[in-house]
Each structure stands twice: as C-alpha cells, then as structure tokens.
C-alpha cells in the first residue's frame, strides 16, 4: 500500500557511466536545492565496479530516500542493498532501456523523475532472486543472453533503443537451441526441448519496453515464466510481433506458467541474464521475495496496487 513520502534527507548516487548519467549530476543537485530539500549528499560513480561500494556508503547515513541515477543494472544493485530496509529507492532513469522505471510508470525525463521523488508516494514491490541474486524485471536464458553480449556500451550510446533489435538480429543468426527441465514447488515438472529462450519475470517490462505477459505485475507475489520453442522463421516473426504486448504467451510455440518459485536445469550449463547483466548460471532456482523493496512512484502510478494471492 502507498505511504507518505519524507524527503528531508536524500542521498544521491549517479552512475555517470550510464547513457545520460554524466550530464545529470549538476542538474540533480540544482533541482533538489531549488526544491528546498534540507540535506542532499551527491555521490557520482564513474564505473559499474565502484557502484556497490558507493551505494553502501550513501545508504550508511540512513536517508529517507536513496536516489539512484542509472540504468536497470544500477537499480538492481541498489535494490539488493535496500531490500528489507526502511530506506526507499528513488529512480532516475538514465540508462538505455529503463524498464524498472517503465514498470513503475516513472517519467522518462530527468526533471519529471526528480519531481516524482519530491511529490510521489512510497509503495512496496517484490524482488526476484536467481540463485540468490536479485533481479527486478526479468531473468532469462538463451537468445537474450546472446543479445546482452552484443549490447556493448558503445552500441547503446550510438543507437539508444535501436541497439536492442540490432543486437537481437545478430544473436538470432548464431543461436543454438537448448533443452530445459522446469521443476515446481509441488514436485511437478515440465520437460522442454529445442528452446530459443526461457524467461522468468518479476516485473512487467524488459528489453526496452517488451512485456512479460498481459497480467504481469511487480507486486503480485508471482513469477511469470515463458519458454519459446524454435520454429520456422514465420513462427519467430509472429512471436516477435507479440513481445511488446505480452500476448506471446498465447502463441502455440510458447509455454507459459506462473508460480512463486521454479528450478531450471538445462542440457548444458548456461549463463543467466538478470536485467541485462550476466550474473549466474544454470542450474538455477528462481524465487519471488514478497514486499521486499520500498520505492517512490508517481501518485498516479498503477504499479504496486495488488495485494497478491496468499502463498500458503
């Protein structure tokens, strides 16, 4: 449920290595000072390797809000730190995809996102975990990993959102199908062959605006899982057309299920992509951590409006 927002003490971490991060530091400081925020501590970060340490230092003063500027990787790193604490995460979408911000309906422009931090409300959302590692949006195996490996910082800076379809086309040409076994908490399992991709969604959006499923939500206490079988070229074209709406789950080449946890074993060890970062390998256990993260959203946001089914 939403709660009142306190902004008397903000810590700000801006990943200047993100797509628009370098230009944002001064604007963030000026905007907050003009708004009359009593205490603003700003911490620029020049590289992703420095981010965990700087985030921990910024959170050490127990601010009301830890405001993070960066992409989905930066948000995931902050979420792991702030999980089950009283500090809320404020989101400044400065990356390429910004799918966590899109899920929460946070404005894309920096000034509007800053106004959200000052005038918004705090909600509580779920986190996904893959072998214990946090993901906000989607964890995946297969084609998406190969796409991630081709999404170089240079390509993202040069093409922006267009980098995703360019990298996807290149990955598709060299993709090798795989087999997977999905085990559920009730002891049942599903054997799948000749897969292109397997995705496990905690949030609603991923991959620069694609949708996990039409009913996916970041606070329903469930993971949305889909697996895409290899088919003819026209099958993949028809699936691709349904990615933005999430209606691919109805396609004959797609298997879909929801659960609070699954374990995936593949026919060979495979890297797992967590929100654009390759962070673990199969076999992998995916779980949802209920109501784990406080985050600031606009008052009009439809995110985090569900109570979720009981998990017994």
Catalytic positions are 277
Residues 143, 55: Cα–Cα separation, whole Å: 31
Beta partners for residue 67, in sequence order? 12, 90
Say how many Å lie between the first and final Cα of the chain, rounded. Answer: 21
Tokens linked to 16: 């200047």
Residues 66, 58: Cα–Cα separation, whole Å: 7
DSSP 168-180: HHHHHHT---EEE
Vertex 182 angle, CA 176 and 184, to 5°: 165
Quickly list H helices, 50-162: 51-59, 72-82, 99-103, 110-119, 143-150, 153-159
Residues 156, 170: Cα–Cα separation, whole Å: 15
Residues 297, 292: Cα–Cα separation, whole Å: 15
Tokens linked to 198: 């397997």
Residues 90, 93: Cα–Cα separation, whole Å: 10
Residues 194, 256: Cα–Cα separation, whole Å: 16
């Amino acid at each position: 449920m939403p709660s009142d927002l306190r902004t008397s003490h903000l810590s700000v971490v801006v990943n200047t290595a993100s797509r628009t991060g370098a230009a944002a530091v001064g604007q963030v400081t000026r905007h907050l000072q003009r708004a009359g925020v009593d205490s603003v501590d700003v911490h620029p970060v020049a590289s992703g390797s420095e981010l965990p340490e700087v985030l921990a230092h910024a959170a050490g003063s127990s601010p009301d809000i830890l405001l993070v500027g960066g992409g989905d990787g930066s948000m995931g790193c902050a979420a792991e730190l702030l999980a089950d604490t009283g500090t809320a995460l404020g989101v400044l979408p400065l990356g390429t995809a910004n799918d966590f911000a899109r899920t929460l309906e946070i404005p894309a422009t920096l000034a509007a996102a800053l106004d959200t931090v000052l005038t918004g409300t705090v909600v509580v959302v779920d986190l996904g975990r893959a072998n214990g590692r946090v993901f906000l949006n989607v964890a995946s195996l297969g084609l998406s990993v190969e796409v991630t490996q081709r999404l170089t910082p240079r390509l993202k800076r040069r093409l922006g959102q267009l980098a995703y379809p360019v990298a996807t086309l290149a990955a598709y040409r060299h993709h090798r199908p795989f087999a997977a076994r999905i085990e559920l908490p009730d002891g049942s399992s599903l054997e799948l062959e000749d897969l292109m991709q397997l995705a496990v969604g905690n949030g609603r959006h991923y991959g620069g605006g694609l949708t996990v499923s039409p009913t996916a939500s970041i606070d329903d206490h469930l993971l949305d899982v889909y697996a895409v079988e290899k088919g003819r070229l026209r099958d993949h074209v028809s699936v691709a057309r349904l990615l933005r709406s999430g209606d691919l789950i109805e396609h004959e080449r797609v298997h879909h299920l929801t659960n609070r946890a699954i374990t995936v074993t593949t026919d060979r060890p495979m890297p797992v992509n967590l929100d654009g970062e390759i962070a673990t390998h199969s076999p992998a256990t995916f779980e949802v951590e209920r109501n784990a993260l406080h985050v600031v959203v606009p008052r009009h946001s439809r995110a985090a409006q569900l109570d979720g089914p009981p998990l017994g």
